[in-house]
């Protein structure tokens, strides 16, 4: 029976990319009335077919998280988000070379033969001044206008 370790990773230091996205959305694309803030996380979904998932999550975090500038949380077989923002998951729908190389690094270099698959995504955390239905509609519009390249990315509003 396989299990999925979801490793959410975010910067403790200011995130220049998230700041740029926020500025673009507010100043250039007119979302200033509804958008309050933008933050970003990296998501690693690591499928394993054996072993203690908590222990492996700690080992994977040691390898994939820079403790000097990043924080993380590991969730086993679930992906939950706090209240207060709309999470938009952006992932490649084409082959993800970085995810493949992480899988191979975990398997061959670090000896985790129980790693079946690794998927990588970006979670854009969109903080809105408006209520749920309008916020979700705005999140969808933001994803399609700025956060994804339709030729290579897919997105999902994680509610």
Quote the pLDDT of residue 58.
Answer: 96
Quote the pLDDT of residue 88.
Answer: 98
Residue-level pLDDT, tens digit, the chain, 159 residues: 899 999 999 999 999 999 999 999 999 999 999 999 999 999 999 999 999 999 999 999 999 999 999 999 999 999 999 999 999 999 999 999 999 999 999 999 999 999 999 999 999 999 999 888 899 999 999 999 999 999 999 999 998
C-alpha 19/C-alpha 7 separation (Å) is 23
Quote the pLDDT of residue 159.
Answer: 80
User: Which segments of the chain does DSSP mark as H helices, in order?
Assistant: 16-23, 53-64, 97-104, 132-142
Quote the pLDDT of residue 131.
Answer: 86
Q: Please, what's the b/e burial string for 10-42 (b: 16 or more CB within 10 A of its CB; e: otherwise)?
A: bbeeebeebeebbeebbeeeebeebbeebbbbb
C-alpha 109/C-alpha 91 separation (Å) is 25
C-alpha 20/C-alpha 18 separation (Å) is 5
Q: Are 65 and 19 in contact (CB under 8 A)?
A: no
Q: Are 58 and 38 in contact (CB under 8 A)?
A: no
Domains of the chain, first to last: 3-157 (3.30.1280.10)
Percentage helix, strand, coil for the chain under 3-state DSSP, each rounded to 5: 35, 35, 30
pTM for this structure? 0.95
Q: What is the largest CA-CA distance in the chain?
A: 51
């Amino acid at each position: 029976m396989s299990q999925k370790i979801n490793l959410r990773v975010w910067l403790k230091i200011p995130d220049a990319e998230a700041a740029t996205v926020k500025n673009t959305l507010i100043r250039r694309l007119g979302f200033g009335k509804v958008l309050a803030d933008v933050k970003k996380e990296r998501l690693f979904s690591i499928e394993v077919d054996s072993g203690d998932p908590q222990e492996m999550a700690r080992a994977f975090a040691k390898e994939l998280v820079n403790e000097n500038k990043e924080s993380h949380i590991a969730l086993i077989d679930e992906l939950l988000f706090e209240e207060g923002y709309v999470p938009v998951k952006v992932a490649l729908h084409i082959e993800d070379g970085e995810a493949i190389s992480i899988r191979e690094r975990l398997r061959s270099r670090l000896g985790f033969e129980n790693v079946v698959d690794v998927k990588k995504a970006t979670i854009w955390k969109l903080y809105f001044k408006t209520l749920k239905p309008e916020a979700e509609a705005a999140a969808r519009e933001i994803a399609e206008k700025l956060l994804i390249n339709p030729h290579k990315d897919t997105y999902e509003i994680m509610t």
